[in-house]
């Protein structure tokens, strides 16, 4: 049975019409392993060990991997999130962004962060929503242009 938003009979196999390519950028090995477990059912998952302070490096990773969604671990580098998301919005506005953090990170550019160790279903749903929505700042940037 194909996934179409309806219910599937118990035990029925769900086939995704469109896989979600996800790039997880985190220095935390345990989180990267958890993200693989949570997100592998959505599609291919790639990982990068990088600090978000190097905005050009993060953008180059996205250019190289061609993900639909980027999961950014803001733990210990929350101030860099705004610059990274803005740069990604400029370069690849179609790429969705999900921010996670293990601390109560400051709100940067009005972008909320999911609890890094929260419910697995929340991370999965956030990635699926981000795939459809693209960069969360693209509408804001478009409004300022008109």
pLDDT for position 52: 87
pLDDT for position 92: 92
User: Tokens representing 133?
Assistant: 């929505």
Return the domain boundaries, the chain: 22-145
Q: In CATH, which superfamily holds the domain spanning 22-145?
A: Response regulator (3.40.50.2300)
pLDDT for position 15: 52
pLDDT for position 12: 53
pLDDT for position 129: 95
What residues of the chain score a pLDDT lower than 50?
Answer: 1-6, 141-146
Tell whether the torsion through CA atoms of 74, 80, 81 and 84 is positive or negative. negative
Could you tell me the pTM of the whole model?
Answer: 0.81
pLDDT for position 68: 97
Taken as a whole, the chain contains a residue count of: 146
């Amino acid at each position: 049975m194909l996934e179409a938003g309806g219910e599937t009979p118990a035990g029925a196999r769900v086939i995704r019409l469109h896989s979600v390519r996800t790039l997880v950028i985190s220095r935390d090995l345990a989180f990267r392993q958890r993200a693989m477990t949570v997100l592998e059912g959505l599609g291919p998952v790639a990982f990068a060990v990088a600090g978000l302070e190097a905005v050009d490096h993060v953008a180059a990773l996205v250019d190289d991997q061609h993900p639909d969604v980027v999961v950014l671990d803001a733990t210990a580098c929350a101030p860099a999130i705004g610059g990274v998301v803005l740069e990604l919005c400029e370069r690849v506005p179609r790429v969705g962004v999900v921010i996670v953090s293990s601390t109560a990170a400051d709100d940067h550019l009005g972008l909320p962060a999911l609890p890094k160790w929260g419910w697995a279903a929340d991370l999965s749903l956030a990635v699926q929503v981000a795939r459809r929505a693209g960069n969360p700042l693209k509408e804001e940037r478009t409004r300022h242009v008109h």
